[in-house]
Amino acid sequence: MERTLDTVPVSEWGFFDESIPPIVIAGPCSAESELQMMMTAKGLHDFGIHVFRAGIWKPRTHPGSFEGAGVQGLKWLQKVKREYGMKICTEVASQKHVYECMKYGVDMVWIGARTTANPFLVQEIAEALQDTDIPVLVKNPVNPDLDLWVGALERLNRAGIRKLGVIHRGFSTTQKIPYRNLPGWQIAVELRTRYPEIPFFADPSHMGGSRKYLKELSQRAMDLGLDGLMIESHCDPSCALSDAAQQLVPADLKTLLESLVVRQKQTNDKEYNENIEQLRARIDVIDENLLMSLASRMEVSRKIGEFKKAHNIAIVQAARWEDILSDMIAKGRVYGLPEGFVTAVFNAIHDASVAEQNQILERE
Ligand code: PEP
Ligand code: MN
Question: pLDDT of 74-109, one tens digit each?
Answer: 999 999 999 999 999 999 999 999 999 999 999 999
What's the pLDDT score for residue 316?
80
d(CA 71, CA 102): 12
What's the pLDDT score for residue 264?
80
CA 113 to centroid of ligand 1, rounded, Å: 6
Residues 103 and 71 occupy one common structural domain: yes
Whether 116 has a pLDDT exceeding 60, the answer reads: yes
Residues 232 and 283 occupy one common structural domain: no
What's the pLDDT score for residue 1?
55
Q: Judge whether 2 lies within some domain.
A: no
Encode burial over 131-169: b for 16+ CB neighbours within 10 A, e otherwise: ebebbbbbbbbbebebebbbbbbbbbbebebbbbbbbbb
What's the pLDDT score for residue 268?
87
CA 143 to centroid of ligand 2, rounded, Å: 17
d(CA 108, CA 63): 27
Whether 2 has a pLDDT exceeding 70, the answer reads: no
What's the pLDDT score for residue 183?
95
CA 162 to centroid of ligand 2, rounded, Å: 26
Whether 185 has a pLDDT exceeding 60, the answer reads: yes
* Atom of ligand 1 lying closest to residue 243 CA: 3
d(CA 36, CA 238): 12
CA 62 to centroid of ligand 1, rounded, Å: 15
For residues 301-306, give the mean pLDDT.
Answer: 93
List 171's β-bridge partners, or say none. 182
pTM of the model: 0.80
- Length of the chain in terms of residues written: 364
d(CA 129, CA 133): 8
d(CA 121, CA 229): 25
Q: Judge whether 300 lies within some domain.
A: yes
Kindly report the CATH number assigned to the domain that includes residue 356: 1.20.59.10
pLDDT-derived band at 194, boundaries 50, 70, 90: very high
* Amino acid letter for position 303: K
Closest C-alpha to ligand 1, atom 4: 112
pLDDT-derived band at 150, boundaries 50, 70, 90: very high
282 phi and psi, to 5 degrees?
-65, -45
To test the ligand 1 pocket, which listed residue (40, 118, 203) has its Cβ within 8 A of the most ligand atoms? 203
Residues 187 and 317 occupy one common structural domain: no
Residue 80 CB neighbour total at 10 angstroms: 24
Q: How many domains would you assign to the chain?
A: 2
CA 45 to centroid of ligand 1, rounded, Å: 22
Of the three residues 259, 294, 327, the one that is the final residue of a domain is 259
Residues 40 and 75 occupy one common structural domain: yes
Residues 119 and 242 occupy one common structural domain: yes
What's the pLDDT score for residue 364?
73
CA 205 to centroid of ligand 1, rounded, Å: 9
Of the three residues 225, 259, 293, the one that is the final residue of a domain is 259
As for ligand 1, residues whose beta carbon falls within 6 Å of it are: 29, 55, 59, 91, 112-113, 139, 169, 203, 206
* Amino acid letter for position 86: M
Residues 226 and 347 occupy one common structural domain: no
- Residue 55 has what DSSP assignment? B
Closest C-alpha to ligand 1, atom 10: 113
Kindly report the CATH number assigned to the domain that includes residue 125: 3.20.20.70
For residues 172-178, give the mean pLDDT.
Answer: 93
Question: pLDDT of 213-252, one tens digit each?
Answer: 999 999 999 999 999 999 999 999 999 999 999 999 999 9
What's the pLDDT score for residue 318?
82
- Which among 150, 144, 147, 153 has a CA at the least distance from the CA of 125? 153
Q: Judge whether 340 lies within some domain.
A: yes
To test the ligand 1 pocket, which listed residue (89, 114, 139) has its Cβ within 8 A of the most ligand atoms? 139
pLDDT exceeding 70 applies to what percent of the chain? 99
The whole domain housing 223 covers: 10-259
Whether 342 has a pLDDT exceeding 60, the answer reads: yes
For residues 314-325, give the mean pLDDT.
Answer: 86
What's the pLDDT score for residue 77?
98
Looking at every residue in the chain, the average pLDDT score rounds to 95
d(CA 44, CA 42): 5
Dmax (CA) for the chain in angstroms is 82
CA 3 to centroid of ligand 1, rounded, Å: 27
Whether 3 has a pLDDT exceeding 80, the answer reads: no
Question: pLDDT of 123-143, one tens digit each?
Answer: 999 999 998 999 999 999 999
For residues 347-356, give the mean pLDDT.
Answer: 93
* Atom of ligand 1 lying closest to residue 30 CA: 3
Q: Where are the alpha helices (DSSP H) in 227-338?
A: 250-259, 270-310, 318-334
Residues 28 and 160 occupy one common structural domain: yes
For residues 302-317, give the mean pLDDT.
Answer: 88
* Amino acid letter for position 40: T
What's the pLDDT score for residue 265?
75
Q: Judge whether 4 lies within some domain.
A: no
- Which among 156, 89, 161 has a CA at the least distance from the CA of 122? 156
Closest C-alpha to ligand 1, atom 9: 113
DSSP string, 150-189: HHHHHHHHHTT---EEEEE--B--SS--SSSSB--HHHHH
pLDDT exceeding 90 applies to what percent of the chain? 85
Q: Note whether 225 and 265 are within 8 A (CB).
A: yes
Residues 164 and 275 occupy one common structural domain: no
Closest C-alpha to ligand 1, atom 3: 29
Residues 238 and 330 occupy one common structural domain: no
